[in-house]
Structure 1
Amino acid sequence: MTKVGMLKSLIRLIRPSQWIKNLFVFAPVLFGGALLDTRALLAGLVAFLAFCFAASSIYCFNDIHDVADDRRHPEKCQRPIASGAISVAQAYGVMAVMIALGVAVTFLLPLIGPMAPTDGLAIDMPTVPEWGGVSATLFVVVFYWLLNLAYCVKLKQYAIIDVCIVAFGFVLRMLAGGGAAGIELSHWIVLMAFLITLFMGFAKRRDDVLQMEQTGEAPRKNTVRYNATFMDQALTITASVTLVCYIMYTVSPEVMDRFQTNKLYLTSIFVLVGLLRYMQVAVVDKRSGNPTKVVLRDRFIQLDVVAWIVTFILIIYVG
């Protein structure tokens, strides 16, 4: 294989297209009212890179662990390890380098300097030495890595638990971002992060169920523990609870007091529209198997997210 071919295979192995998920680490900066704080943004960037490297390490391990199954799969057989483009030994090497980079990058945080105290969603925010900096971010990244190793080896075989672990991974991303910037998250933002990603996780599993019904073969070992009726009910429940949780957040006295506005409820419109559009993609279009592709390719969802972010920023930063 040529050097160019090897490089392309390595890039496919670490899946940089999936790094968009790690943008969740910037949520504490946005919701914490620190979007104009350069140091907080730099701290978020460090946490983002740490999670990108840690996640790529997990992707390597997942492909190593599932190589036998991937070789029998009509699409996954094209993955670098399954196709033979990358050897198992090389994949282990890349995996080690990725997690080493993920750990090492957290030690850049002291170079940024102490964070300025912020309000926003921070509730009784402790000092940075108590919660923040290298220790907090490193702990979350390592815990995420170990949890996902367990997920790849065993936990992903259990229905419901598998989706919950994936959703919890996004909560960990936000905790890492908050830890890096010295912002402690409120219960609202943690709940919303878990619920919205749980919703997307069930939508992805619904696509697996449809594939199983069409081919007679389960894409995952736990797919047999799901069916279309259950998935539709799960989507409805999680979407409803997510919307209610967000509305409760926008009208809660503590949030209105901290942002000095009672207009955040207006952003609920975009959350409702976004949830409905995603359900349309899952139930009507039947193409929710890859949440990353849905977000990157669906212009409706992209415009809705941008509108929500812009409206939110205008309300809390401009007034």
Structure 2
Amino acid sequence: MNVKDIARVIRPQQWIKNVFVLVPLFFGGSLLDTTDIIAAVTAAMAFCFISSSIYCLNDIIDVEDDRRHPTKCHRPIAAGKISVAQAYVMMALMVALSFGSVAMLGGYALGVGAVVGLYLLMNVAYCLVLKRYAILDVCTIAFGFVLRLFAGGIATGIGLSNWIVLMTFLLTLFLSFAKRRDDVLKMNQTGHAPRKNTSRYNLDFINQAITITATVTLVCYVMYTVSPEVEQRIGTRYLYLTTVFVIIGILRYLQLTLVDNKSGDPTKAMLHDRVLQAVVLLWFLAYLLIIYILR
């Protein structure tokens, strides 16, 4: 067992997903508050470790299926480079590190710990049962990102707008459906379903689901930016100007999904697509300018 194999099991490259824990910090206007920054980053680390524990469990449960898969057979556990017993030890260590991070949050530790615990239980259920059922699988994944949002809000004491919660759920649901579309394409090409529930999806359904969730996500963002509650808390009425970048970002991802058929991994798309990176950067700078400088 070497460091490279351990990294392939705990998947640190997927930790970028836990940036959602920092969302309340950014949208709440506390990006310059050192205390809130430390609390949010600590909560994010707790989610990094707990999500890695789930990756360990997922590979343990799927080990026999992975051994029969043409590419997944090279995963460390399936290939025998890491034993199932060692993987359970790694999982336990990740859980311990997660709750150790939570314990550093002082008065907010109980609330964040409850959210992390719920995330752990939900994802154990996902690995064992829920991932077998179409629609329920993507909804479970999306709710996991909402829990990240709640953890960040609790850790910093920042209240969450209803619109931001809905937008987070819908955005991650949109990305999850786009990822399932890639599975359907592979099933249609090879006749083999990458997941047990892939046969319960088809391109017509997936395309409509992607369109619906993308549309409602955009509506939620617009409603968030013009919400009187948000305008009063942030102290500006110009947030709606950032909508243009959200529209471009969603359209770009739709292009990658529906035209280029490159929706298999949202994390990889974000890390490698220069257009998406530029749009996110411009959105970030515009939002930063409006709520931290011009208000």
Q: TM over 0.5, yes or no?
A: yes
Q: Which runs of 5 or more structure 1 residues have no equivalent in the other structure?
A: 111-128
Q: Which secondary structure does the structure 2 equivalent of 1:196 belong to?
A: helix
Residue 258 (structure 1) shift: 2.0
Matched, 1:25 2:21: yes
Residue 212 (structure 1) shift: 0.3
- What is the one-letter code of the residue matched to 1:204? K
- What is the one-letter code of the residue matched to 2:256? V
Q: CA offsets, 1:19-39, max 9 Å, x none?
A: 000011000000111111000
Q: Specify the alignment match of 2:145 in structure 1.
A: 170
Q: Specify the alignment match of 1:13 in structure 2.
A: 9
Alignment of 1:153-164 (within 5 A): 153-164=128-139
- What is the one-letter code of the residue matched to 1:154? V
Matched, 1:58 2:44: no
Matched, 1:273 2:285: no
TM-score (norm 2): 0.98
The correspondence for 2:161, drawn from 164, 172, 186, is 186
- What is the one-letter code of the residue matched to 2:165? V
Q: Specify the alignment match of 1:243 in structure 2.
A: 218
CA RMSD in angstroms comes to: 0.9
Matched, 1:256 2:231: yes
Residue 78 (structure 1) shift: 0.8
Q: Specify the alignment match of 2:289 in structure 1.
A: 314
- What is the one-letter code of the residue matched to 1:227? N
Residue 287 (structure 1) shift: 1.2
Q: Which secondary structure does the structure 1 equivalent of 2:197 belong to?
A: helix
Residue 168 (structure 1) shift: 0.5
Q: CA offsets, 1:19-73, max 9 Å, x none?
A: 0000110000001111110000000111011001000000000000000000111
Q: Specify the alignment match of 1:86 in structure 2.
A: 82
Q: Specify the alignment match of 2:265 in structure 1.
A: 290
CA distance in 2, matches of 1:100, 1:86: 20
- What is the one-letter code of the residue matched to 1:285? D
Residue 191 (structure 1) shift: 0.5
Count of residues in correspondence between the two structures? 294
Q: Which secondary structure does the structure 1 equivalent of 2:264 belong to?
A: coil
CA distance in 1, matches of 2:20, 2:235: 25
Q: Which secondary structure does the structure 2 equivalent of 1:287 belong to?
A: coil
Q: Specify the alignment match of 2:35 in structure 1.
A: 39
CA distance in 2, matches of 1:287, 1:250: 30
Cα contact 2:28–2:234 (8 A) shared by 1: no
Task: Give % identity.
Answer: 60
Residue 93 (structure 1) shift: 0.4
- What is the one-letter code of the residue matched to 1:15? R
- What is the one-letter code of the residue matched to 1:41? I
Residue 255 (structure 1) shift: 1.6
Residue 269 (structure 1) shift: 0.4
Residue 281 (structure 1) shift: 0.6
- What is the one-letter code of the residue matched to 2:126? Y
Runs of 4+ in 1 over 4 A off after TM superposition: none
Residue 257 (structure 1) shift: 2.0
Q: Which runs of 5 or more structure 2 residues have no equivalent in the other structure?
A: none
